[in-house]
Amino acid sequence: MSEPRSRSEVARLLACVVARELRDGEVVAFGLHAELLLASALLAQRMHAPNLRIRHGLRAERGHELSPAAWTEDRSSRSHTLVEDLEAHDAILDVASRSSPMRFCDVFLVGGMQIDREGSTNLIGIAGQDGRMKVRGPGSIGTTSIGTLARHVILFSGEHTRRRFVERVDYVSVPGWRRRAAAGLEGGPALCLTPLAVMDFADGWMRLRSVHRHATEEEVRRRTGFPLPSGPVPTTPSPTPEEIGALEAIDPHDRLGSIDLLPDGGAP
């Protein structure tokens, strides 16, 4: 590993990577790590996508809180007062349907206890050698339907380790490329971001798109539990001065610096 970076610097880099992927007029939603992913969406609104819709109506100019997620019922936060609308669970199910012309979102940002080579994620649990669940996760909740129906899925992991990036997930929350194809669905996840690298997909398998400046290609490959195709790998572009200025306005108290993120990738 080259020169180390603080958690805040790595989080801001990842926020910029996600923001650059978002397009004007899209609807974006996210689950875990809401602080980082909300910052990404707000950054995109400020920089190049003023008509980007953050699910439930958040806008940079209306005020925001990066933590907790804006639509929670946690009354210790004022986040619930900043949204333009809240939907009943049944209403969400109405749009999370293949038979509906509507979609819950265009872009869905999701993580997992495990992420595998084809981009399937696991929020359910970890299986032991006997095949029984030995560690229970938070559960898929709505990620399966939302992640299956969204036009673009971006995966995120706060660590880059062999326990997180596995050949095949123990349980499936959001299906990857081959599982989607087997179910008659097109496409698959577009990107996967970690504190060390950005991955994308070719022919349904994960590959390296770029390595962050504070990491090395060898380190990323060593910390990944499956082979990544060989080939030239560029360095992830650093935040621009304009992006840094916008993030300072979005996150004046450096909430990004306190999220559950391992800048060194975590234990191998």
- 7-65 pLDDT, tens digit per residue, is 999 999 999 999 999 999 998 887 666 788 889 999 999 999 999 988 754 454 555 66
Q: Model confidence over 160-209: pLDDT tens digits?
A: 999 999 999 999 999 999 999 998 888 999 999 999 999 999 999 999 99
Contact 261, 1 (CB under 8 A): no
CATH number, domain of 179, equals: 3.40.1080.10
Tell me the backbone φ, ψ of residue 156, rounded to 5 degrees: -140, 140
**pLDDT at position 76:** 56
> Among residues of the chain, what percentage have pLDDT more than 70?
79
For the chain, the distance separating the N- and C-terminal CA atoms, rounded to the nearest angstrom, is 13
Is 60 exceeded by the pLDDT of residue 250?
Answer: yes
Amino acid at 145: S
For residue 1, is it within any domain? Answer: no
DSSP assignment of 186-230: -----EEE-SSEEEEEETTEEEEEEE-TTS-HHHHHHTSSS----
Question: For residue 191, what are its two tokens?
Answer: 């990107």
Indicate the pLDDT class of residue 91, thresholds 50, 70 and 90: low
How many residues belong to the chain?
A: 268
Indicate the pLDDT class of residue 3, thresholds 50, 70 and 90: low
Domain tally, the chain? 1
**pLDDT at position 29:** 84
Does residue 13 or residue 91 have the better pLDDT? 13
Cα–Cα distance measured from residue 146 to residue 104, given in angstroms and rounded to the nearest whole number: 7
Cα–Cα distance measured from residue 197 to residue 92, given in angstroms and rounded to the nearest whole number: 33
Nearest to 35 by CA among 56, 14, 5: 14
Cα–Cα distance measured from residue 55 to residue 93, given in angstroms and rounded to the nearest whole number: 14
Q: Model confidence over 208-224: pLDDT tens digits?
A: 999 999 999 999 999 99
Look-up of token digits 């399937």? 120
For residue 57, is it within any domain? Answer: yes
Domain that holds residue 140: 7-258
Q: Cβ atoms within 10 A of the Cβ of 232, count?
A: 6
For residue 26, is it within any domain? Answer: yes
For residue 157, is it within any domain? Answer: yes
For residue 155, is it within any domain? Answer: yes
> What pTM did the predictor assign?
0.85
For residue 264, is it within any domain? Answer: no
Nearest to 157 by CA among 83, 245, 265, 246: 265
Cα–Cα distance measured from residue 193 to residue 119, given in angstroms and rounded to the nearest whole number: 12
For residue 225, is it within any domain? Answer: yes
Q: Can you point out the beta strands (E) in 35-106? A: 53-54
Is 60 exceeded by the pLDDT of residue 83?
Answer: no
For residue 266, is it within any domain? Answer: no
Amino acid at 115: I
